[in-house]
Chain A
């Protein structure tokens, strides 16, 4: 068996050294009635590399790769081109097969990278500090809400109707059995909800998203001021991190905690996971933060180096009083993020963002010419909500999928019980979207809506 180095000869010699008659003897503490004496017969036997590859490749071909035709899917997962360099570097065994950097003397590679990651996240969000990552944005928002409650000592969280439904559901679920009450507002596709009028001195925080789930960009400055006047924090989620190359960052609008989904930079879509949660805040809140932090220090010879720090917030020290139960973060996805960001750099990141926005403007221009279709989102980055009045958007998506076009994400997938959203479709363009893809979509939609 190719992953097992011991031979029967080794096993015999080792048992002799131990003074045991057989491997089974080593399991003597296990109740005999629960111990199987042969492999579980309902499961297959071992397989060669060739056989596994053949089998899994066959399963893979039962999927349609998003890039095999025009693709306009977003809704929190954005398809970008990832340079070959990224995937090559993250597969270096020294990165891929290391553990969490508990021994800093032999983990400076991971630690320095995390420090670079934290810096890049802080820079693009316009915040003072960032942690070494969360599992994803959904869990990051949940942790942000809990953190806001710790900071303000308040027990109510307001989640706006423009927040990704998965982020909202994860937050409600995460806090369901705590003393924090989460109020999730109904979906707000046209951005009319009066959040400013709702915030009061009972709130720990208000959670919004920018651009919101329906693609809309908003200036959050007035909301931030009102939150602060009421003693609440403003938590801003960013589902598309590329937007931060072009759009005014949440930090400049008064956000107190910024949570982002980072997978769009550095990683493939991977059917939505693993992701990487970006988590940034103000310096004064850092001791309330969840998650791992890399910090700068010196070694005993006076040379600069990095360690995991402020671990007194964490579960392995504080146990039931920890700021979070989180242990692992999303290290390798964070590494991919950092390498991709480093390749882009200031000029490339800004250009990528302009390209995405330009493609979306181009797409919206074409869609505005499709009769029977209405573009809802007035200001956007690379994604908009369109309505197909009189049509079930999910059915239109199925029809277009039959023609090889992944047209967008129907809102009914998230809100099947809101009939007024049944004609809503989220459509997104990125740098990977070509003019001919957009024309194909416009043509197919024109036919489907006729």
Chain B
């Protein structure tokens, strides 16, 4: 414990309080919810009543509040500080969005109320669609995908449906650049496609010649990220799109990095056939420690007929209608989830879009790109940028600046944690060694960026001065130090079990 200074008697350290599992506290007789007596009537369970205890805990309300408050204090969060996690767009989450989503007229709506009683909700969905189509120039949008990867699935299934409809269902190859997110190949595989890799060039872009070479009559589509995962705009994009279409294939754009382009480029103009939009990245809805997100997917005229159900349409009388079943000539490939999509996320995103407006969104993408280039400029004094700039909304470095120091990208990241900043994305993209991908977003001030750069540059100097232990022993000041992930995977303990004596007493 010497690494962390003088130990305390309890293991608590000031504001950091050790907190056992909920199951290790309280007593099953206690509860934090008062409920009326159930009616005294014979049951209608048909003999299927549960017998014996479930094994849940029992705590009063104040105990539960304290437990989860203490746990919350063991988390880093965008509210607490800079979170430059590349590819994740950790921008500020406005609280107005939360208030709007909690209006009883939105929060307390059942998905199967008669449509006449939910016109305002359908208007929200329709208005959000208009924003997304207005910003992308695309033909249609499927709102229901629940996350980015789910949106990818939507786009790729629409491509598969379009191929089948035109009798080209035997095309089974999808081109995916080596720098792609792991979800891209995983999604392609789910749609029955084989993945064909495409190498990058030394400018951090798709190698156009190799790309053309890889296109043949077996290719169903391509999945590109733009700006790409190296933080660069694919400046051959028009040629790439033309080649894809000439080959009879479709162009899926991974929208993870849309934040760089919002309000400046309509992606329809880039020849895109489908793109998902992460409302939880680009449009400020909270990440919530890993969801819920939403991944509405915009579609070109070629793919629009295949959009999954449900759809929302505006009626001539000013009302809105939710279409849940096939009508007319629509050919939906199916349904992606229960009910009508991530409605609570839609309200939050719409609240953000209305707040920012077309002018604010354009300013935001400009500031996001400016902030990333500022990091690139300042950090390039010592760190090693992987490619020549300018970058788009994220800056990519590799670990050449750490060569010979005995400090890895991981060690460097852990030392950043001790300095009070969340690390960047590490070891992704896979195309550069020891990658460090930094995405500052537009909601960081210049002071915040400067403080970050000062800390990172000081750490780089420290690494190069030969003090490897400072890094390999980090972090020292966190609720937990480095955790043994090998042990967790080799001997998985995935739930709490009652201690042995208690088991024996049962």
Within 8 A of A (CB), among B282-297: 284, 286-294
B70 to chain A, nearest CB (A): 8
> Chain A residues with Cβ under 8 A from B301's Cβ?
none
> Chain A residues with Cβ under 8 A from B442's Cβ?
3-4, 6
A200 at the interface (CB under 8 A from B): no
0/1 interface trace, chain A 19-35, chain B, CB 8 Å (1 if under): 11001011111110111
- Chain A residue nearest to B78 (CB atoms) is A97
> Chain A residues with Cβ under 8 A from B90's Cβ?
99
- Chain B residue nearest to A30 (CB atoms) is B233
CB-based contact A110/B75 at 8 Å: yes
CB-based contact B338/A99 at 8 Å: no
- Chain B residue nearest to A91 (CB atoms) is B98
CB-based contact B496/A119 at 8 Å: yes
Instruction: Name which of B149-157, B210-218, B245-253, B399-407 contacts chain A.
Output: B149-157
A185 at the interface (CB under 8 A from B): no
B502 at the interface (CB under 8 A from A): no
B261 to chain A, nearest CB (A): 8
B382 to chain A, nearest CB (A): 15
- Chain B residue nearest to A359 (CB atoms) is B39
| Bound-complex Cα distance A19 to B370 (A) | 11
Q: Which of B71, B147, B149, B340 contacts A109 (CB 8 A)?
A: B71
B229 at the interface (CB under 8 A from A): no
CB-based contact B93/A96 at 8 Å: yes
CB-based contact A269/B50 at 8 Å: no
B470 at the interface (CB under 8 A from A): no
CB-based contact B363/A1 at 8 Å: yes
Q: Which of B11, B29, B94, B373 contacts A26 (CB 8 A)?
A: B373
B35 to chain A, nearest CB (A): 5
A13 to chain B, nearest CB (A): 7
A345 at the interface (CB under 8 A from B): yes
B428 to chain A, nearest CB (A): 8
CB-based contact A112/B21 at 8 Å: yes
0/1 interface trace, chain B 370-398, chain A, CB 8 Å (1 if under): 11011011100000000000101000000
Within 8 A of B (CB), among A223-265: 244-249, 252, 261
> Chain B residues with Cβ under 8 A from A106's Cβ?
74-76, 417, 422, 475, 478-479
CB-based contact A328/B265 at 8 Å: no
B144 to chain A, nearest CB (A): 8
A192 at the interface (CB under 8 A from B): no
Count, A-B residue pairs, CB within 8 A: 720
- Chain A residue nearest to B493 (CB atoms) is A296
A123 at the interface (CB under 8 A from B): yes
> Chain A residues with Cβ under 8 A from B76's Cβ?
94, 98, 103, 106-107
> Chain A residues with Cβ under 8 A from B186's Cβ?
315, 318-320, 322, 324-325
0/1 interface trace, chain B 40-64, chain A, CB 8 Å (1 if under): 1111111111110111111101001
CB-based contact B290/A409 at 8 Å: no
Q: Which of B4, B11, B29, B146 contacts A136 (CB 8 A)?
A: B146
Within 8 A of A (CB), among B258-292: 261, 263-266, 269-270, 280, 284, 286-292
A413 at the interface (CB under 8 A from B): yes
CB-based contact B48/A379 at 8 Å: yes
Within 8 A of B (CB), among A160-207: 164, 166-167, 169-170, 172-174, 176-179
A93 at the interface (CB under 8 A from B): yes
A402 to chain B, nearest CB (A): 9
CB-based contact A133/B79 at 8 Å: no
CB-defined A-B contacts under 8 Å, sample of 14: A18-B377, A56-B347, A94-B79, A96-B98, A107-B76, A217-B48, A218-B48, A219-B46, A272-B110, A274-B292, A301-B3, A307-B485, A326-B149, A352-B33
11 further A-B contacts with Cβ under 8 Å, apart from A4-B363, A105-B479, A319-B185, are A4-B442, A23-B370, A60-B104, A101-B290, A112-B74, A170-B335, A246-B49, A273-B341, A275-B339, A315-B182, A328-B292
